Amino acid sequence: MCGIVGYVGPQDARDVVLEGLRRLEYRGYDSAGIAVLADGELTTAKKAGKLANLEKVLAERPLPAATTAIGHTRWATHGGPTDRNAHPHVSADGRVAVVHNGIIENFAVLRAECERAGIEFTSETDTEVAGHLLAAAYAEAPEGEGRLAEAMRAVCRRLEGAFTLVATHAAEPGTLVAARRSSPLVVGIGETADGTPEYFLGSDVAAFIGHTRNALELGQDQVVEIDRTRGVTVTDFSGRSVEPTAYTVDWDAAAAEKGGYDWFMLKEIAEQPQAIADTLLGRLGEHGNLVLDEVRLSDQELRDIDKIFVVSCGTSYHAGLIAKYAIEHWTRIPVEVEVASEFRYRDPVLDRSTLVIVISQSGETMDTLMALRHAKEQKARVLAICNANGSTIPRESDAVLYTHAGPEIAVASTKAFLSQIVACYLVGLFLAQVRGMKFEDEIAAIVDDLRKLPDAVARVLESMDEVRALGRSLADAGTVLFLGRHVGFPVALEGALKLKELAYIHAEGFAAGELKHGPIAVIDQGTPVVVIVPSPRSRESVHGKVVSNIQEVRARGARTIVIAEDGDQDVVPYADHLIRVPRTPTLLAPVVTTVPLQVLACEIADTRGYDVDQPRNLAKS
């Protein structure tokens, strides 16, 4: 994530870009920065922290007025959230300024190459290398129109990973060049009251919605040049010209802050395919192996582990429960899962060969931090799974695996949760790889399955209309039960938690097999019971037993809401409502089966008239 804005036109570019950054701040607030091009010189201002910090700097030291400017609000992935790492990054010759969204996966190799050529780097980011490479490519490119775009194409052909780049060159007033691969970028085309054309670039249309509703959508691997006199030119990375898709933005400026969604939560649910893809990005090696270079524990330390605890709170605890199934299955190491507030008070048995995995979206969850400190005092190794770069929990841990879900603004976690599950899979597979518990081709097969998850989640999201209608019909429910077995059990717990925290409806998740040992007494005529059905290709007995459980609750009057994979016909006779999800390998299924439960809870809460993003009594840590 991150917010990118660019402007070329007759207005004061400083104001246009700052306003755009304000609208995009939800995309990242580790730092903010702006570069303006005036009188053949680039001038930048940047500051760690929220945009307000940059605004203070600008009030004390204003930038020169300009008609060309770029800006960035950062969500740090490489290098802490500091002033030095803030974008824009300027090339060593001071002639190119660049902002970037995403991760340049091969930056280390490119950086080493620049350093050999005598360039001194001033930040720890992956981004800076793009500025230096652009300056060099510009020097090589033929003089004349389109020179900066030619340089951008040359650089993009060398970059791996995901990126949106926007650049300006001191010798090219009135021109901005941008590129996009697997990261968002839109162009806005407007005109001022006197009919003068003006051009905008943004991570999303929120950046310029106050100025124009005419936008161009760019495809993958495209470079766009916007120029005050020549207008917009789009090519692919090899220079072939491309016709961009024009569209009219049909929502207003206020809604744009949530990207057009009624709630941040809805937006974050929709971002889940991207969040999963970003969490996998750069971690799956070319040969199906896993590359987790932020795990700063030696292979020997990882081989010595004889026990794992996963410690976390709330929704992250459910990610931990899912992790247990996968990690034990893949590594044969015993895994215990515990809520952080219990763990630290009960004197768990820990030593040097224990690995404690702590999971926290913010990296600041106090109970989890205390559990981490307790584990370290007992000499255990600690690995953090966390979404906020540079926060306390990863800082104090021996190793960290960041989820790249982007900022999660809604209090109820959605995309961070799915990314945490994916990160847990990566840890489990990594351990299996290092300890030689799986053949390379077995790991490669699971890696292949992981790569399919973003598409599977996208497919679930496409078919949510019926789930929303079902949600509206459940708005008056008194109690809702959720049942699951195997990895479906933690999904049931998560479904119940979402409903409690958003809709304030009493909800409970149970292991389906526990039902007859007590909870089935709660079921009354019409009680909604949501059942997460495992794949028929999972252990035959597990699937069959869950189908029996559906019949048991239905026989006692329950209204059954069944989540089952495509093609599972066994459930059809017993489902009052059937929600289909794509076929997914058993251990990975929670990533898809959770999604309808999020949508359901959100719709019920909305129908009941509650603030979905900020539920009562709760706050995001």
Binding site for ligand GLU (CB under 6 A): 1-2, 28, 74-79, 85, 100-103, 125-127
> d(Cα 291, Cα 372) in Å, to the nearest integer?
25
Closest CB 89 distance from ligand GLU, rounded Å? 8
Paired tokens of 142: 């033929």
Closest CB 15 distance from ligand GLU, rounded Å? 23
Residue 497: helix, strand or coil by DSSP?
Answer: helix
Identity of the residue, 84 or 577, whose beta carbon is nearer to ligand GLU in the bound complex: 84
Identity of the residue, 222 or 389, whose beta carbon is nearer to ligand GLU in the bound complex: 389
Closest CB 187 distance from ligand GLU, rounded Å? 19
Identity of the residue, 85 or 535, whose beta carbon is nearer to ligand GLU in the bound complex: 85
Closest CB 259 distance from ligand GLU, rounded Å? 16
Closest CB 99 distance from ligand GLU, rounded Å? 8
Identity of the residue, 127 or 272, whose beta carbon is nearer to ligand GLU in the bound complex: 127
Residue of 314, 312, 397, 399 lying closest to 324 (CA atoms): 312
Cα distance between the two ends of the chain: 20
Residue of 486, 478, 546 lying closest to 515 (CA atoms): 546
Residue of 486, 548, 484 lying closest to 510 (CA atoms): 484
Count the neighbouring beta carbons within 10 Å of the beta carbon of residue 455.
13
Q: HSE of 486 in the Cβ direction (CA atoms, 13 Å)?
A: 24
The CA distances from residue 246 to 115, 187, 207, 216, 565, in Å, are 42, 9, 17, 4, 37
Residue 310: helix, strand or coil by DSSP?
Answer: strand
DSSP assignment of 177-213 equals EEEEESS--EEEEEE-TT--EEEEEESSGGGTTTT--
In contact, 563 and 579? CB cutoff 8 Å? yes
Paired tokens of 248: 């009219």
The CA distances from residue 264 to 137, 160, 370, 477, in Å, are 40, 31, 30, 25
620 is catalytic: yes
Count the neighbouring beta carbons within 10 Å of the beta carbon of residue 121.
16
| DSSP-assigned letter for residue 284 | B
Closest CB 315 distance from ligand GLU, rounded Å? 24
> d(Cα 398, Cα 409) in Å, to the nearest integer?
28
Identity of the residue, 24 or 38, whose beta carbon is nearer to ligand GLU in the bound complex: 24
Identity of the residue, 55 or 105, whose beta carbon is nearer to ligand GLU in the bound complex: 105
Residue 615: helix, strand or coil by DSSP?
Answer: coil
> d(Cα 156, Cα 110) in Å, to the nearest integer?
12
Identity of the residue, 91 or 125, whose beta carbon is nearer to ligand GLU in the bound complex: 125
Identity of the residue, 77 or 414, whose beta carbon is nearer to ligand GLU in the bound complex: 77
Closest CB 163 distance from ligand GLU, rounded Å? 8
**Phi, psi dihedrals of residue 369, rounded to the nearest 5°:** -65, -45
Identity of the residue, 161 or 519, whose beta carbon is nearer to ligand GLU in the bound complex: 161
> d(Cα 332, Cα 33) in Å, to the nearest integer?
48
Catalytic option among 2, 156, 313, 386: 2
In contact, 86 and 42? CB cutoff 8 Å? no
2-8 sheet: strands from edge to edge: 41-48, 31-38, 68-74, 2-8, 197-202, 186-191, 214-217, 245-248
- Alpha-carbon radius of gyration of the chain: 26
| DSSP-assigned letter for residue 540 | H
Identity of the residue, 126 or 565, whose beta carbon is nearer to ligand GLU in the bound complex: 126
Sequence-distant (6+) residues with CB within 8 A of 408 are 268, 361, 387, 414, 415, 416, 620
- What DSSP element (H or E) covers 53? helix 51-60
Closest CB 386 distance from ligand GLU, rounded Å? 15
Residue nearest ligand GLU (C-beta atom): 2
Closest CB 162 distance from ligand GLU, rounded Å? 9
Catalytic option among 376, 438, 452, 620: 620
Closest CB 177 distance from ligand GLU, rounded Å? 18
Q: Catalytic residue positions?
A: 2, 620
